[in-house]
Amino acid sequence: MELGVHDVRKWVGREEPFAVAAASLPGLEDRLELPLRGPIQTSGRVRNAGTSLLVELEGSALVQIVCARCGSLADLPVTFSDMAQFREEQPGPEDDWFAYENEIIRLDAWVSDEMVLAVPLAPLCRPDCRGLCPQCGADWNERTCECQAPTDDRWGALAGFRGRDDERD
């Protein structure tokens, strides 16, 4: 993924939008240990801030995850946004910018890092996934089982209040 910055370099304050997509990035799926289910889409703006070019980046992609609760495969949309400065010189260890050359900013490493950060450590097939019964393995998203009556969190909270009252008495 590359950003041509020939025009934006012409004067300080100049700003340009961009949109770049890629089917994948080298090594990304190995780092994620998950397959991508569509292209990585990025967009944003690059602004000439004088000594550096300021890039605002937003991106999204669809990643195939294994649900941490029920074990089913699901396509999880991940999104990210970040900002970084680029200069035509190599940064030292204390510097907070990245290098570019030949009027091209390369986004691959940055976008890869953002993707790795954007995928949750314990992804869910959906936010309210009920998971599997630990005893019989029934998928509680599809049915209940005999092992455990379905619980309602509101009643659980009430039971907690009652418990505290009892302790006070």
| Nearer CB in complex with Zn ion: 102/144 | 144
Token digits for 38? Answer: 């569509």
Alpha helices in the chain (DSSP H): 28-32, 108-118, 153-168
Q: What angle do CA 130, 135, 137 make, to 5 degrees?
A: 55
Pair type for strands 15-22 and 53-66: unpaired
By CB under 5 A, what part of segment 7-66 binds Zn ion? none
Q: How far is the CB of 35 from Zn ion (least distance, A)?
A: 18
Q: Is 132 in the site for Zn ion (CB under 5 A)?
A: no
Confirm or reject binding of residue 70 to Zn ion (CB under 5 A): yes
Stretch that binds Zn ion, among 11-19, 50-58, 102-110, 117-125 (CB under 5 A): 117-125
**Which residues, including other chains, have CB under 8 Å from residue 13's CB and lie 6 or more apart?**
47, 48
Give min distance, CB of 127 to Zn ion, in A: 10
Where on the chain is the footprint of Zn ion (CB under 5 A)? Answer: 67, 69-70, 125, 129, 133, 135-136, 138, 145, 147
